[in-house]
Amino acid sequence: MAYYIQRGTIPPKRHIQFRKEDGSLYYEEVIGAEGFSGISSIAYHMHPPTSIEKVGETQAYAVQYAESKNMQHRHLKGAALSSGGDWLSGRNYIMGNEDVKLAICQPTENMSYFLRNATADELVYVHDGEGELWSPLGKVKFVPGDYVHIPRTITHQWKINLDKPSRFLVIESNSEVRFPKKYRNQFGQLLEHSPYCERDIKTPQAIEPIDEKGGFEVKILKHGQLHSFLYSYHPFDVVGWDGYMYPYAISIHDFEPITGRIHQPPPVHQMFEARNFVVCSFVPRLFDYHPQSIPAPYSHSNIDSDEVLFYAEGDFMSRKGVERASFTLHPGGMPHGPHPGTAEASIGKKGTEELAVMVDTFRPLKLTQQALEIEDQAYIYSWKI
């Protein structure tokens, strides 16, 4: 959720008559969270959004986790994952728990259907690739470095430029993804000390309503199953809408880093929050300026959280051996810190050009078999002197 916006043509009040030129009514749809107590948007369709011609087959779509393995620090080589499939079939799930799932998607074809994730908000980091996310509420352009947020229940379709390779980090959240409360005032406006503001948010741009009748397949993800429905009318037939719930994009490059005289703790990098996990952005920044500062992070024990880092770009000054698209997992209960020699080597350095996405979860993460197949087995011993 960002802030209130309006697109297209809407009536002067909610839930009143809104008629087409021929005198017939437009069809109002309230899209909302938490019953009628959370954020919502109201869309006005040319045709009933409820008109179903056929119910298709239901398929199982649940993430399977590997049997419990030793708790240890892990390095997973995400670049080794295969490309293929579309936005949904191409997902390679890496890890997850009851609150969040992480996957890499490297699609080689576009969607022939529409998708509605009725269980999870999707926060997508665009590592490589470009294109547009379309929904009944408009289109959002994306480029490398963008986070694209699709609230659950929003019907959408990814239109990816297949002339260029694509890689997406997909963060599926079983709760609403929000900007952290510490960055917002009582009215929801982003405060002066926030590392980004409303000007950085790319909200949906209007598209011409698509007035088409026929069979339009919408796949709905719900509780580990994928349901297929054939709708009578194109889902993007909206003439206008307003509200607080809509897809948007915001770039990691617009995150303004918070720095200090001595090393700052990871919460200064926080960009999003959800139930039982947070998402942080590590971006190019100046190092600490105390005359005796050590820019490399200190060793620390994650008592209450598992820490995942997805390495996007640059030279990661505290970590050796990681690659572009690598994941590291440092579980709660074990201290971790910079690799041997990196703390000393960081002294006197003026800044870093690293770019990474961090997901800290407050419940333990489980790995998939696919994750274990791309693991660097030697990583747990990489602190040995």
Residue 308 near residue 326, CB atoms below 8 Å: no
Compute and round to an integer the Cα radius of gyration of the chain.
22
pLDDT tens for the 385 residues of the chain, in order: 679 999 999 999 999 999 999 999 999 999 998 888 889 999 999 999 999 999 999 999 999 999 877 789 999 999 999 999 999 999 999 999 999 999 999 999 999 999 999 999 999 999 999 999 999 999 999 999 999 999 999 999 999 999 999 999 999 999 999 999 999 999 999 999 999 999 999 999 999 999 999 999 999 999 899 999 999 999 999 999 999 999 999 999 999 999 999 989 989 999 999 999 999 999 999 999 999 999 888 888 888 899 999 999 988 777 888 999 999 999 999 999 999 999 898 999 899 999 999 999 999 999 999 999 999 999 999 999 8
Non-local CB neighbours of 87 within 8 Å, separated by 6+ positions = 105, 107, 110, 111, 115, 158, 160
Non-local CB neighbours of 139 within 8 Å, separated by 6+ positions = 132, 133, 204, 205, 207
Look at residue 98 in the predicted model and tell me its pLDDT.
Answer: 96
Q: How far apart, in Å, are the Cα atoms of 71 and each of 329, 334, 359, 372, 385?
A: 10, 9, 18, 13, 21
Q: Do domains 50-62+81-237+244-252 and 255-381 have the same CATH topology?
A: yes
- At residue 242, the 3 state secondary structure works out as strand
Q: What is the C-alpha separation between 277 and 164, in angstroms, rounded?
A: 32
Look at residue 130 in the predicted model and tell me its pLDDT.
Answer: 98
What's the gap between Cα 174 and its chain centre? Answer: 12
- Where are the domains positioned within the chain? 50-62+81-237+244-252, 255-381
Per-residue tokens: 157: 């379709």
Look at residue 131 in the predicted model and tell me its pLDDT.
Answer: 98
**Mean confidence (pLDDT) of the chain:** 95
Per-residue tokens: 269: 């990098």
Burial of 341 (0-12, 13-18, 19+ CB in 10 A): exposed
Residue 3 near residue 41, CB atoms below 8 Å: no
Length of the chain, in residues: 385
Look at residue 1 in the predicted model and tell me its pLDDT.
Answer: 60
The CATH fold assigned to 255-381 is Jelly Rolls (2.60.120)
Q: What is the C-alpha separation between 120 and 176, in angstroms, rounded?
A: 8
The CATH fold assigned to 50-62+81-237+244-252 is Jelly Rolls (2.60.120)
25-39 CB burial, b ≥16 within 10 A, e <16: ebbbbebbbeeeeeb
Look at residue 317 in the predicted model and tell me its pLDDT.
Answer: 72
